[in-house]
Amino acid sequence: MATLIGEQEIEDLAIGAAILGTGGGGDPYIGKLMVQIAIRKFGPITLLAPHELPDEALIIPTAAMGAPTVSIEKIPNGMEGYNALRALEKYLGKSAYATMPIECGGGNSTIPFVVAAHAGIPVVDADGMGRAFPELQMETFHIYGIKGSPMVIHNELGDHCILNTKDNLSLERFARAITVKMGATSHLAEYPMTGKQVKEVAITGTLSLAIRIGKAIREARMHKENPIEAIIDVTTNSIYGPAMVLFQGKVTGVDRQTRDGFVRGMIQVQGFDKYQGSTLEVDFQNENLIARMDGEVVAMVPDLITLLDLETGLPITTEAIKYGSRVTALAIPTPEIMRTPQALEVWGPRYFGYDVDYRLLEEIHPEYYKQKFKVSEEAEPLEL
Amino acid sequence: MATLIGEQEIEDLAIGAAILGTGGGGDPYIGKLMVQIAIRKFGPITLLAPHELPDEALIIPTAAMGAPTVSIEKIPNGMEGYNALRALEKYLGKSAYATMPIECGGGNSTIPFVVAAHAGIPVVDADGMGRAFPELQMETFHIYGIKGSPMVIHNELGDHCILNTKDNLSLERFARAITVKMGATSHLAEYPMTGKQVKEVAITGTLSLAIRIGKAIREARMHKENPIEAIIDVTTNSIYGPAMVLFQGKVTGVDRQTRDGFVRGMIQVQGFDKYQGSTLEVDFQNENLIARMDGEVVAMVPDLITLLDLETGLPITTEAIKYGSRVTALAIPTPEIMRTPQALEVWGPRYFGYDVDYRLLEEIHPEYYKQKFKVSEEAEPLEL
């Protein structure tokens, strides 16, 4: 059943997707404005569930690439993603039936809507990361066999390259190098695939989940309720799993470097209330990767780690976090499709250079999750 | 009048083009072998003068890009240039009538012949540099208004990118970044143009001149004559101008770094015979750029500076020069099309970071050139 997405849903999406974006995926503000302008001009945008796609339809995901620190200063002209889509359609000699995001994230969840509005096509309610990740091969599309190329990379001047590579790691390498030369930000049309392939390899329902999360936070704030509880409720009722509070405190240090087309660094948080005396450290490469409390790992990729403003429950991205921010650190378990051995090879902690084996968030925090899953755990064994 | 190019002409071309290549343009040996194998398989290759091209014919130049130091270790599979041509033809929806070099140089003068042999098309007797230069926009094509893109960049694995840029400087930037990620060497099909444009913007006759130079050296060596004199004779009778000996001595130092897709450095030569007690220093970026004798500039870009083996007269490229080499440093004035104000902006000494105005080789060495041009200088003024 197709849903129509209007300005309010985009408002909610920008918030919810930034929470799933684990600090990355780009600033939600600019992307939101771009879609809202497009909706005013072209009307609401159709959101399609993957199962509504014809098997043979051509789906072309669209996105921005680069360092989020740069994308908030080097504002897109708004047509880069659309131009990338059109250039790839021309190269393939076929029109796209729909576009879709490659990741959840404030910016990259909204760009396909800008493209869709201008192209007059729907957006598919799915993505390839289930969160945000910094590199192009970090996609269920890649993990489950789809080629990222031919891909178009486009800048605001009209410069564009069509990349054809044997493997998706080379695609990341070439595209990153071009992105750096484009000023550390670019727009992409990539991983062209059929409707059938989307159904097989995409993480489904992530856009509507992000909208639900954003809406829950908005309504909680409206009714002076706790937005964190609202997030926990929505994620519990999803393919993810219950969010949990890792930490609360004040940011006392941010080490951040923009280099090689990424922003990398570390955020230090001094705890208060029940976390008084403890320190949380969160490493990031565009997105938050690993969180350590007093040196002990409390959450790691691919599970989601998001910092929220303590008062409002709104997410803070890695390029915006700063000294003095009072934050709640939230973790969310990822869907099972993102935790297979093939998937962990692509985006487990070892890929990012950490000498630790991946542990499920639920394993690291058995007490919390035992209680959260208590219904099923306490169920009586079936008498056979 | 079309000429047929066989194995002997390629032997001569490799030598002559390396002399015009001023130390760059790639090692002549590998390119020569590739063409000779192709000629054995497909027969002699047709060389066409620009005026023989139909005005509306599509001409696609082909070349290698990257650091010459790398190209002698990372051997091409031989089909990269051909594959680049085919990919660009496909993208343009039109077949190439002929290919041609973008520069003179041991490697880059031979690659179009490999491509031509496999594609069954002629090579145009012209190029866009009249020597070798390190960057893609250093082309008479660029200087006189031709767009370098759409361009295809191809590696040995089949990875390729189609670049479309608003200007040729961006093209160089993106292509260089991709080349670095391809391992500092790549192959190109670029500056697609019409036969009419080739006639207007190319430096004509440079391939046949290189073959004449190579042949003159070969014959001089066969008859135990001085190969340097042979080079001077051939260049005197060309659109270039008489070569001159700048220096003779022994290489006592080579500073060479391969970085950012280039090889850069400096060669130091201690003089002997009439140059005893003097030092020549030659700076290079892939190609020799400027030569100073005891601190005084004796030749500079775009004029040609080439180091030859003292005994054989054979050229030594910047990646092959080493301590102990006994060399003759030769300079050759460039054709007038390469010395216009627009041209000097693109490849004059200031572009390469030297704080000196370009001076003609003939101005720096008036005595030598007065004598060389004495016939015309001594001619009686016409009685009117």
Predicted confidence (pLDDT) per residue in B33-86, tens digit: 999 999 999 999 999 999 999 999 999 999 999 877 777 788 899 999 999 999
When CB atoms are compared, the residue of B159, B161, B163 closest to A166 is B159
Q: Which residues of B touch A87 (CB under 8 A)?
A: 164
Nearest-5° angle of CA B3, CA B9, CA B12? 140
A284 at B interface, C-beta within 8 A: no
How do beta strands B58-59 and B193-194 pair?
antiparallel
Residue A27 and residue A154 in one domain: yes
C-alpha distances out from residue B376 to A91, A320, B381, B382, Å:
58, 73, 10, 12
For residues A25 and A132, what is the distance between their CA atoms, to the nearest angstrom? 5
When CB atoms are compared, the residue of A91, A160, A166 closest to B158 is A166
Residue A33 near residue A113 (C-beta atoms within 8 A): no
Give tens-digit pLDDT for A10-29: 999 999 999 999 988 777 88
Alpha helix segments (H runs only) across chain B: 7-20, 28-42, 68-71, 80-92, 111-119, 140-143, 168-181, 195-201, 206-222, 227-236, 341-347, 361-364, 366-372, 374-378
Residue B172 and residue B44 in one domain: yes
Whether the ω angle into residue B150 lies within 30 degrees of 0, i.e. cis, is yes
Rounded to a whole number of angstroms, the distance from the CA of B147 to the nearest CA of chain A is 13
Which residue pairs from B70-75 have beta carbons closer than 8 angstroms and sit at least 24 positions apart in sequence? B70/B183, B70/B184, B70/B185, B70/B258, B71/B26, B71/B27, B71/B30, B71/B107, B71/B185, B72/B27, B72/B30, B72/B319, B72/B320, B74/B183, B74/B184, B74/B185, B75/B30
For residues B246 and B298, what is the distance between their CA atoms, to the nearest angstrom? 7
Residue B83, domain CATH: 3.40.1610.10
pLDDT at res. A374: 58
Residue A347, domain CATH: 2.40.390
Q: Exposed/middle/buried for B7, CB within 10 Å: 0-12, 13-18, 19+?
A: middle
- The two tokens of residue A55 are 């098997």
Q: Which residues of A touch B178 (CB under 8 A)?
A: 161, 174, 177-178
- The two tokens of residue A57 are 């339809």
Residue B27 and residue B112 in one domain: yes
How many alpha carbons fall within 13 Å on the CB side of residue A259?
A: 5
For residues A177 and A160, what is the distance between their CA atoms, to the nearest angstrom? 13
pLDDT at res. B65: 93
pLDDT at res. A382: 53
For residues A380 and A77, what is the distance between their CA atoms, to the nearest angstrom? 59
Residue A105 near residue A94 (C-beta atoms within 8 A): no
Best of A178, A179, A190, A260 to disrupt the B interface (most B CBs within 10 Å) is A178
pLDDT at res. B382: 53
Is A148 inside any structural domain?
A: yes
- The two tokens of residue A45 are 């945008």
Counting one residue from A and one from B, how many pairs have CB atoms under 8 Å apart?
Answer: 59
Give tens-digit pLDDT for B340-370: 999 999 999 999 999 999 999 999 999 999 9
For residues A14 and A159, what is the distance between their CA atoms, to the nearest angstrom? 28
Give tens-digit pLDDT for A292-317: 999 999 999 999 999 999 999 999 99
Give tens-digit pLDDT for A182-232: 998 999 999 999 999 999 999 999 999 999 999 999 999 999 999 999 999
Tokens 């005026």, located at residue: B51
Q: What is the DSSP string of A133-147?
A: -SSTT-SHHHHTT--
Is B356 inside any structural domain?
A: yes
- Cβ pair A160:B164 closer than 8 A: yes
How many C-beta neighbours within 10 Å does residue B112 have? 30
Q: Which residues of B touch A162 (CB under 8 A)?
A: 91, 161-162, 164
- Cβ pair A159:B181 closer than 8 A: no
For residues A154 and A85, what is the distance between their CA atoms, to the nearest angstrom? 9
Q: What is the mean pLDDT of chain A?
A: 93
Query: Rg of the Cα trace of chain B?
Result: 20
Tokens 């094509």, located at residue: B141
- Cβ pair B166:A157 closer than 8 A: yes
Nearest-5° angle of CA A38, CA A40, CA A44? 80
Q: Which residues of B touch A165 (CB under 8 A)?
A: 159
Tokens 């008489």, located at residue: B242
Residue B158 near residue B81 (C-beta atoms within 8 A): no
Residue B175 and residue B274 in one domain: no
How do beta strands B296-300 and A296-300 pair?
unpaired
For residues A327 and A310, what is the distance between their CA atoms, to the nearest angstrom? 4
For residues A193 and A293, what is the distance between their CA atoms, to the nearest angstrom? 42
Q: Which residues of A touch B180 (CB under 8 A)?
A: 177
Q: Name the DSSP letter for residue B52.
A: G
- The two tokens of residue A153 are 């990379």
- Cβ pair A178:B178 closer than 8 A: yes
- Cβ pair A178:B180 closer than 8 A: no
Give the residue, B11 or A70, on which the prediction is more confident. Answer: B11
- Cβ pair A159:B177 closer than 8 A: no
Q: Name the DSSP letter for residue A86.
A: H
When CB atoms are compared, the residue of A158, A174, A180 closest to B166 is A158
pLDDT along chain B (384 residues), means of 10: 91 94 84 94 97 98 87 86 98 98 91 97 97 93 97 97 97 96 94 98 97 97 95 96 97 91 92 96 94 97 96 91 96 95 95 95 96 60 52
Strand order in the sheet with B45-48: B3-5, B45-48, B123-124
C-alpha distances out from residue B168 to B32, B142, B181, B259, Å:
29, 7, 20, 21
pLDDT at res. B377: 47
For residue B126, give the H/E element and its range: strand B126-127
Is A219 inside any structural domain?
A: no
Looking at the DSSP assignment, which residues form a beta bridge with residue B98? B59
Which domain does B278 fall in, by range? 239-372
Is B349 inside any structural domain?
A: yes
Strand order in the sheet with A279-285: A296-300, A287-293, A279-285, A262-271, A244-259, A326-332, A304-309
Is A381 inside any structural domain?
A: no
Residue A137 near residue A169 (C-beta atoms within 8 A): yes
Give tens-digit pLDDT for B76-100: 999 999 999 999 999 999 999 999 9
Residue B248 and residue B175 in one domain: no
Looking at the DSSP assignment, which residues form a beta bridge with residue A327? A249, A309
The complex's ipTM works out to: 0.83
Tokens 């041009």, located at residue: B373
Residue B17 and residue B125 in one domain: yes
For residues A128 and A214, what is the distance between their CA atoms, to the nearest angstrom? 20
C-alpha distances out from residue B312 to A107, B11, B30, B211, B316, Å:
64, 15, 20, 17, 11
3-state class of A55 per DSSP?
coil
Is A300 inside any structural domain?
A: yes
Q: Name the DSSP letter for residue A17.
A: H
Best of A83, A172, A181 to disrupt the B interface (most B CBs within 10 Å) is A181
Residue B52 and residue B120 in one domain: yes
Residue B263 and residue B200 in one domain: no
Is A235 inside any structural domain?
A: no
Query: Rg of the Cα trace of chain A?
Result: 20
Residue B290, domain CATH: 2.40.390.10
Nearest residue of A to residue B160, measured between CA atoms: A164
Of A204, A228, A252, the residue at which a domain comes to its end is A204
**Which residues 189-218 of B have a C-beta within 8 angstroms of A?**
none
For residues B243 and B233, what is the distance between their CA atoms, to the nearest angstrom? 8
Tokens 């031979």, located at residue: B110
Residue A177 and residue A271 in one domain: no
Residue A25 and residue A142 in one domain: yes
- Cβ pair B178:A174 closer than 8 A: yes
User: Considering only A141-155, A251-265, B329-343, which range has the smallest mean pLDDT?
Assistant: A251-265
For residues B207 and B203, what is the distance between their CA atoms, to the nearest angstrom? 10
Residue A198 and residue A273 in one domain: no
Average pLDDT over residues A369-384: 62
pLDDT at res. A364: 97
Is B321 inside any structural domain?
A: yes
For residues B87 and A164, what is the distance between their CA atoms, to the nearest angstrom? 11
Residue A47: which of A1, A82, A89 has the closest Cα? Answer: A1
Q: Which residues of A touch B165 (CB under 8 A)?
A: 159
C-alpha dihedral sign at B380, B381, B382, B383: negative
pLDDT at res. B29: 87
For residues A201 and A58, what is the distance between their CA atoms, to the nearest angstrom? 15
Residue A186 and residue A41 in one domain: yes
Tokens 């490229």, located at residue: B317
Tally of domains within chain B: 2
Best of B149, B151, B161 to disrupt the A interface (most A CBs within 10 Å) is B161
Q: Which residues contact A164 (CB under 8 A, 6 or more apart)?
A: A149, A150, B87, B158, B159, B160, B161, B162
- Cβ pair B159:A178 closer than 8 A: no
B170 at A interface, C-beta within 8 A: yes
How many alpha carbons fall within 13 Å on the CB side of residue A43?
A: 6
Torsion angle defined by CA atoms of residues B85, B86, B92 and B98, in that order, rounded to the nearest 10 degrees: 50
